[in-house]
A and B are shown apart, each in its own frame.
Chain A
Amino acid sequence: MTANIETKDLTRTYETYMKAQGLLKSIEGLWARKTELKIAVHPTTLRIDKGQIVGLVGSNGAGKTTLLKLLSGLIHPSSGSAQVLGYEPTSRKPEFLKKISILLGQKNQLWWDLPPADSYDLLARIYEIDRTKARERVRELSELLQCTQQLQTQLRRLSLGERMKMEIIGSLLHQPEVLFLDEPTIGLDIIAQTTIREFLAKYVHERNPTVILTSHYMDDISLLADRLLLMSQGRIVYDGSVKEFTGRQEARQTLSLKILNPPAHNTNIANQFTLEAGALAVKQDLPAHAIGDVLQALMQVSPIQEIKIEEVEFEDVIRSFMEQDARLRTPGRSPTT
């Protein structure tokens, strides 16, 4: 296997200015300021092979986005080095940039006042793709994402979920070999989340790009990724298969539902989930990975009126993981492997 992404002691620190409280301190701040060094990414050595789908997980501020930005050349490392597809990302060579793509959740690369179709024409020019080919590709992708209808509507009139779908099409237009997805499903409703998740699964299966995906949702990771990196406070604290992690972790979520047509008999919807006869409201703990299946099966039985899924706080997942890890760790074995 060839390595598509390699880093050696990649590090990034920020200098922040500490804000003092009160008017007097603020006036003092005019000439004397205290700064603080914050390490966003501790020295990280990493190797990701071609075609690998890596899930990058961690709480807010763990350093996930910083790592993605380092690898896509948006920010310069404070020390250490990175190689992506044989290029040094920060030199931002056009040949390199044509082969990668980064999708930042809730940020638009498409023109706000234009219909996505027009933005894609522009992107085709920027990436030097033949226009007819680009249009063909947009058609294909938009069908898969079920958003063909909205291609001619100004971006600002689209819903958050539709916008994200459009952004995804935009970032895949030039068929990147390496794809950085930063929170592609954040803030979206469950239907849009599922569509996007399934689309991505299909896409990576067919095209086989190298992907790093960050997400708050364990479901995204478990469905898509074959390798999991867990980040905490700027360090990678777990690197291994998703299965092994979820096996050890057994992440669970609470699913609360209100349905419109309760079944007449107790009905087994999917493994571990049963609808009782006549019950309008259901609340049950489920393994996180099963929720998608359950919802899909449930929609066949009855229209759903209300859905609430309570995530286990990610901090808790990590903490409990770290505790387990400390318990399981045999003496001499490094905690980061």
Chain B
Amino acid sequence: MLGCARLAALQQLEYRFNLIADTMIQPFIVGLVEITLWVAFFASTGRAELVGFSRESYLAYALWAAFISRVSTSWMYESMMIEDVESGNVNAVLVRPISFFEYYLGQLMGYKVLTTAISLMAPIAICLFLDLPVDMTRLPVALALVFYYLILVHLISMVIASLGFFFTRIHHLTVAKNITLWMLTGEFFPLDIAPEPLKSILIALPFSSAVFRPVGYMTGRVSLASIGEGFVSITIGIVIVGVVATYLWNAGRKRYSGTGA
């Protein structure tokens, strides 16, 4: 699995332009767009705070949310997995002495470690420069939660890839899923400004650990206890999605070999 991780890092370095764009330019623009929204919000309302947090805290949130959400979303490896299943390349992976799940989890993690290391330089620098209220000592704990969450993300990818055994051209599901998660993670706005009961539901779901909990923790919105709840919530998610993924994968494999395709 470590080998796969290394391979993924190597491949990414190959396309230097992609790597830089993916890890720095893209989240930077996202952050910028979101920050302008908050600047406009506070300017036109004339308020100094929203649900108890300062303007600067929202700017910091918007900036970090853009970068952290880049880490906690999987596009590339999911589409590679789907492609493998749909094209029948999955057999090539299956003959290796490593499971399909591990093969891609290794690559995903390797890629994420590399991109995280590069991409977080930008928000750290910006926060220091603009003196935004962010507690950097909380970064390791926040990242630990995000990487734990990636296991759940990868399991969801497994579910979608497994559906490739049953349907053709399912890459639209990836888009639909990622847009849905987008709304659930808190990338757009801190989940605690949503109206009840939406607010409690959104926070209780494991997806809040993708952005809201880790970024909220760093910007002082949520406590360490919330990070703990995040771990619990993700674990429950992993168990549920894990069962579904295993079932679908095995059923799909059986169906696949049954047709002899």
Contacts and interface: CB of A to CB of B under 8 A. Distances in A.
Direct touch of chains A and B (CB < 8 A): yes
Interface in A254-301: none
Q: Is the interface of B mostly helix, strand, loop or mixed?
A: helix
Contact of A30 (B6, B9, B16): B16
Interface string A18-58: 01000100110110000000000000000000000000000
A19 B16 CA distance: 13
A26 B6 contact: no
Nearest to B13: A26
Contacts of B10: 23, 26
Interface string B9-20: 110011010000
Nearest to B9: A23
B13 A19 contact: no
Interface size class for chain A?
under 10
A23 B16 CA distance: 14
Contacts of A19: 14
Interface string A119-134: 0000000000000000
Contacts of A30: 13, 16
A155 to B, nearest CB: 16
Contacts of B6: 23
B132 to A, nearest CB: 29
A23 to B, nearest CB: 6
Contacts of A26: 10, 13-14
Contacts of B9: 23
Nearest to A31: B16
B214 to A, nearest CB: 28
B44 to A, nearest CB: 43
A29 B14 CA distance: 8
A27 B13 contact: yes
A23 B110 CA distance: 13
A26 B8 CA distance: 12
Q: 6 closest Cβ contacts across the A-B interface?
A: A26-B13, A30-B16, A26-B10, A27-B13, A23-B10, A30-B13
9 contacts: A23-B6, A23-B9, A26-B10, A26-B14, A27-B13, A29-B13, A29-B14, A30-B13, A30-B16
Interface of A: 19, 23, 26-27, 29-30
